[in-house]
């Protein structure tokens, strides 16, 4: 058994901030042993974001010099907000509340920033190990006392291969869950210990490409945020184009997973988004070179769970810490990591929550608590531009928030005849900056050992058949990686395509998909997301 | 028994592209990885450790960050390792590299040669497959290439099966030997977390040109007669014929059979 002072599960921004702060803020001679584990092959390989980073997260964590040396691509020099109504029709929003502005903020690949944070953590003496999925928490007498890593080297029938590696147990005085959105251990702990917030969490799936564009056509640091089309009026959909250099643009689209029509295919919506005139301007002559997807917890303040259980703290996206008005979570992830470290060093884990509530990130979450991201963006505009009022359909956003215990998935309608065909007919032609799904999956670099048990477990295959009849197997559409397909009258699961985005776990209308951990080190290999 | 395993860190060539205008490698965002063909030799060595108590030493030549290759091998169970690293080694071709590695191996073995030196079959960046054979020349030790399986008898004799273009060959001999090992030889084991923790703390010996007593004119660029004249991407292959047989396996099988017949590959 391995023993450490602190075990951090997940080497994303939140986990690494925890590790760095723990080592930095402890007095010399009393530095705790900190072990950080991540299931990705290397730090950052499972991290995907926009990302425009609110620099408030660096304060109290990094030195000015470290901030200056951070591998950011550009700083925001020009920012616009657009409402897209139709493929060729969009309007620029003439004014946005100052708190939404991100002028001068760094635009970065969060994968690269995470690699950088991992280097700093290592330099400070934290131990960061990648390629290890943490699959179980260990509880003793009402307290989390550590965790276990996943086994490796099982064949597809679950039998031990010649290279079988057993699970290892790590005992820690404090365990910090930094798993990101919809973390498996985190969700289990929240459910088992009743740590839910006022409302259950709601998610959007974010799909992103890095597109290379010809030199001389675009400006580094020019960013655009959009909302509206191709989402319908009842579901939030928002997109972005961030020019990270003169020749590279990050293009992303987030679509709320509380949508109701089973024919919806977020990946196709992403393609239609890219085909709009508003976006085409930014990707003209371009070619997609990288791809990825990940869920965003966007329930905000009321959906944030209690982030504390004896022996254990939850930081970052896993604790629902995301400013859902701006879809920014990196700065709060960093701040929460610092708070967790302070609570651990003070030997008072329970004080984490109060510390967290004093951060600027949490205060912003509170300020926008009644405007859920989807409509939050439309609302201030609705107020100032009557012409836009129709976009909100007269709805007051918080009326339609799911209540406690109600899941997003429960809301799917039954599939209506002809809808699938109509949706398919709306698809846009492929091209260099419009790859089909499998080409995109290839560019994510995702790879899983084929001879291992399928990590996406169907709890009851009979329900998949019922789902096929009622909803037309929406998993074959909502998965951004084409993991699920119907073949020869049954559901086939190509788990090797999986991007670990967790959309299936959230959106399966029957709650029939159990997302378990594949062999540590498997999964996407993001380098520039 | 003492086994030395030579491994190399390479750019992940699956992500390397060639700039069509300048014909130079575009390495932006390209990770360094252990040469995939070098994963099997250490496993073969560790099996000798398990079966006959061999001592396993890992050697890599490269920049300081290549030390991670050694740590990974230590994490999996190797006994010790050394990083052969110095600016003076920069720009080495396969000849200079073979010479340098052979000097390092001698140094690590107190001037003698070890029982067995293992290599992967080739590195994915240069694909030359010359360094293993080169080291065998410099060490004046017999060479066996493309080893698919290795058995060692109690008296120190070995029996290996090697793969050639037109068949397999069984070779018997006595150590010392230099061998290059194929993927088929062994499925590499995983490093346990506890192994990584110990390896992360291990101090890794760095050998420079002085430490290995290298002749300055035989190392680095100076010792490298090979000159790269130009780099170009291989011609783009025309897209193959795509048979979409989703939902109808029989149709797919027939289409494949018809295709092979047309090519005259089957009757
Ligand atoms: C499309 C998109 C755009 C976004 N844009 C922005 C933006 O512009 N600005 C902004 O501030 N934020 C943005 N966000 C949000 C931001 O990315 C997140 O808030 C941030 O990444 C959260 O950091 P984290 O450390 O909590 O989690 P993550 O970054 O998700 O990291 C979690 C890590 O934990 C690992 N892990 C999880 N479970 C385990 C386990 N059991 N064992 C081992 N390892 C595990 C994962 O592999 C991963 O490496 C965006 C998100 C998306 C999806």
CB-count exposure of residue B228 (10 Å: 0-12, 13-18, 19+): exposed
Read off the pLDDT of residues B221-255 as tens digits, 9 standing for 90 and up.
999 998 888 877 778 777 788 888 888 889 999 99
Q: Which of A70, A110, A337 to mutate to test the pocket of ligand 1 (most atoms within 8 A of CB)?
A: A110
**Does pLDDT of B20 surpass 90?**
no
Read off the pLDDT of residues A329-369 as tens digits, 9 standing for 90 and up.
999 999 999 999 999 999 999 999 999 999 999 998 988 77
A229 band by pLDDT with thresholds 50, 70 and 90: confident
Read off the pLDDT of residues A481-528 as tens digits, 9 standing for 90 and up.
999 999 888 999 999 999 999 999 999 999 999 999 999 999 999 999
Read off the pLDDT of residues A403-433 as tens digits, 9 standing for 90 and up.
444 444 457 999 999 999 999 999 999 999 9
| Chain A residues with CB-CB distance to B31 below 8 A | 42, 525, 527
Q: For residues B159 and B170, is the Cβ–Cβ distance under 8 A? A: yes
Q: Inter-chain contact A2–B193, Cβ cutoff 8 Å?
A: yes
Tell me whether 0.90 is exceeded by the ipTM: no
Q: Inter-chain contact B192–A487, Cβ cutoff 8 Å?
A: no
Per-residue model confidence (pLDDT) at position A373 = 44
Read off the pLDDT of residues A26-78 as tens digits, 9 standing for 90 and up.
999 999 999 999 999 999 999 999 999 999 999 999 999 999 999 999 999 99
Read off the pLDDT of residues A138-193 as tens digits, 9 standing for 90 and up.
999 999 999 999 999 999 999 999 999 999 999 999 999 999 999 999 999 999 99
**Does pLDDT of B70 surpass 80?**
yes
Share of chain B above pLDDT 90, in %: 72
**Does pLDDT of A241 surpass 80?**
yes
B34, two tokens: 């252990």
Closest among B38, B83, B40 to B60, alpha carbons compared: B83
Mean pLDDT (whole number) for A9-38: 97
CATH class of the domain at B2-218: alpha beta
Nearest atom of ligand 1 to the alpha carbon of A132: 43
Taking the domains of chain B in order of start, what are their residue ranges?
2-218, 239-267
CB-count exposure of residue A460 (10 Å: 0-12, 13-18, 19+): exposed
**pTM for this structure?**
0.90
More confident residue, B154 or A297: A297
Per-residue model confidence (pLDDT) at position A391 = 36
Average pLDDT of every residue of chain A = 91
A189, two tokens: 């702990």
With the CA atoms of A124, A126, A130 and A134 taken in that order, what torsion angle do they form, in degrees rounded to the nearest 10? Answer: -150
Nearest Cα of chain B lies from the Cα of A518 at a distance, in angstroms, of 14
Domains of chain A in start order, with CATH, are 2-67+112-200+300-367 (3.50.50.60), 73-106+202-293 (3.30.9.90), 410-440+450-515 (3.30.70.20)
Read off the pLDDT of residues B24-59 as tens digits, 9 standing for 90 and up.
667 666 778 889 999 999 999 999 999 999 999 999
Per-residue model confidence (pLDDT) at position A407 = 46
Average pLDDT of every residue of chain B = 91
- Interface of chain B against chain A, CB under 8 Å? 15, 29-31, 187-190, 192-194, 196-197, 200, 246-247, 249
Closest among A352, A371, A228, A399 to A300, alpha carbons compared: A371
DSSP, res A447? B
Per-residue model confidence (pLDDT) at position A372 = 57
Alpha-carbon distance values, A36 to A145, A445, B234 (Å)? 15, 24, 42
Read off the pLDDT of residues B197-207 as tens digits, 9 standing for 90 and up.
999 999 999 99
């Amino acid at each position: 058994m391995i023993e450490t002072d602190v075990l951090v599960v997940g080497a994303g921004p939140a986990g690494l901030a925890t590790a760095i702060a723990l080592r930095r803020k402890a007095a010399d001679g009393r530095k705790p042993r900190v072990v950080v584990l991540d299931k990705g092959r290397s730090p950052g390989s499972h991290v995907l974001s926009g990302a425009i980073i609110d620099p408030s997260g660096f304060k109290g964590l990094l030195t000015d010099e470290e901030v200056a040396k951070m591998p950011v691509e550009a700083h925001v020099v020009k920012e616009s907000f657009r409402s897209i109504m139709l493929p060729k029709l969009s309007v620029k929003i003439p004014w946005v509340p100052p708190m939404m502005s991100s002028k001068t903020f760094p635009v970065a690949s969060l994968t690269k920033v995470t690699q950088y944070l991992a280097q700093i953590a290592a330099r400070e003496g934290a131990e960061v190990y990648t390629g290890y999925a943490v699959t179980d928490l260990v509880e003793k007498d009402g307290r989390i006392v550590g965790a276990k890593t996943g086994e490796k080297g099982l064949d597809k029938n679950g039998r031990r291969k010649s290279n079988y590696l057993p699970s290892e147990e790590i005992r820690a005085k404090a365990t910090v869950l930094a798993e990101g959105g919809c973390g498996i251990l985190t969700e289990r702990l929240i459910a088992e210990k009743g740590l839910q917030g006022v409302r259950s969490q709601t998610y959007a799936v974010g799909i992103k490409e890095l597109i290379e564009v010809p030199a001389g056509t675009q400006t580094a640091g020019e960013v655009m945020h959009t909302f509206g089309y191709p989402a319908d009026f009842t579901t939030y959909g928002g997109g972005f184009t961030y020019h990270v250099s003169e020749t590279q643009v990050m293009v992303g689209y987030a679509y709320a997973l509380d949508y109701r029509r089973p024919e919806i295919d977020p990946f196709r919506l992403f393609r239609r988004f890219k085909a709009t005139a508003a976006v085409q301007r930014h990707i003209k002559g371009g070619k997609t070179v990288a791809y990825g997807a990940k869920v965003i917890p966007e329930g905000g303040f009321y959906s944030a769970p209690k982030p504390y259980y004896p022996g254990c703290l939850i930081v970052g996206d896993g604790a629902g810490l995301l400013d859902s008005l701006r879809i920014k979570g990196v700065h709060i992830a960093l701040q929460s990591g610092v708070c967790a470290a302070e609570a651990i060093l003070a030997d008072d884990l329970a004080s984490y929550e109060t510390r967290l509530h004093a951060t600027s990130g949490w205060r912003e979450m509170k300020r926008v608590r009644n405007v859920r991201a989807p409509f939050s963006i439309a609302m201030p505009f609705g107020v100032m531009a009557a012409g836009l009022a129709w976009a909100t359909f007269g709805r007051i956003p918080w009326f339609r928030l799911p209540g406690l215990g109600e899941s997003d998935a429960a809301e799917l309608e039954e599939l209506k005849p002809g809808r699938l065909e109509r949706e398919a007919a709306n698809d846009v032609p492929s091209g260099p900056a419009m790859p089909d799904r499998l080409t995109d999956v290839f560019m994510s670099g995702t790879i899983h050992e084929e001879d291992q048990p399928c990590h996406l477990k169907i709890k009851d295959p009979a329900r998949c058949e019922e789902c096929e009849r009622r909803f037309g197997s929406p998993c074959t559409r909502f998965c951004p990686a084409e993991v699920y397909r119907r073949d020869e009258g049954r559901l086939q699961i190509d788990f090797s395509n999986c991007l670990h985005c967790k959309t299936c776990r959230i959106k399966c209308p029957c709650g029939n998909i159990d997302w378990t951990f594949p062999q540590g080190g498997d999964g996407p290999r993001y380098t520039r997301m | 028994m003492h086994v030395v395993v030579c491994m190399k860190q390479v750019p992940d060539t699956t992500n390397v592209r060639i700039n069509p205008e300048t014909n130079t490698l575009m390495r932006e965002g390209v990770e360094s990885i252990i040469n995939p063909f070098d994963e099997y030799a250490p496993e073969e060595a560790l099996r000798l450790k398990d079966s006959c108590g061999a001592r396993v030493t890992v050697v890599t030549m490269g920049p300081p960050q290549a030390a991670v290759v050694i740590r990974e091998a230590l994490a999996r169970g190797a006994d010790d390792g050394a990083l052969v690293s110095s600016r003076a080694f920069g720009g080495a071709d396969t000849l200079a590299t073979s010479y340098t590695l052979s000097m390092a191996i001698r140094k690590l073995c107190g001037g003698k040669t070890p029982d067995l030196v293992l290599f992967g079959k080739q590195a994915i960046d240069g694909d030359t497959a010359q360094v293993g054979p080169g080291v065998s020349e410099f060490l004046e030790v017999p060479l066996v290439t493309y080893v698919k399986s290795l058995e060692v008898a109690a008296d120190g004799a070995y029996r290996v099966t090697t793969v050639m273009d037109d068949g397999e060959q069984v070779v018997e001999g006595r150590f010392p030997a230099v061998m290059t090992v194929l993927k088929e030889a062994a499925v590499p084991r995983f490093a346990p977390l506890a192994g990584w923790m110990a390896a992360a703390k291990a101090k890794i010996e760095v050998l420079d040109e002085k430490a290995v007593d290298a002749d300055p004119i035989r190392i680095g660029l100076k010792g490298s007669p090979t000159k790269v004249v130009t780099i170009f991407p291989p011609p783009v292959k025309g897209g193959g014929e795509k048979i979409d047989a989703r939902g109808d396996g029989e149709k797919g099988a027939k289409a494949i059979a018809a295709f092979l017949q047309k090519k005259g590959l089957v009757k």
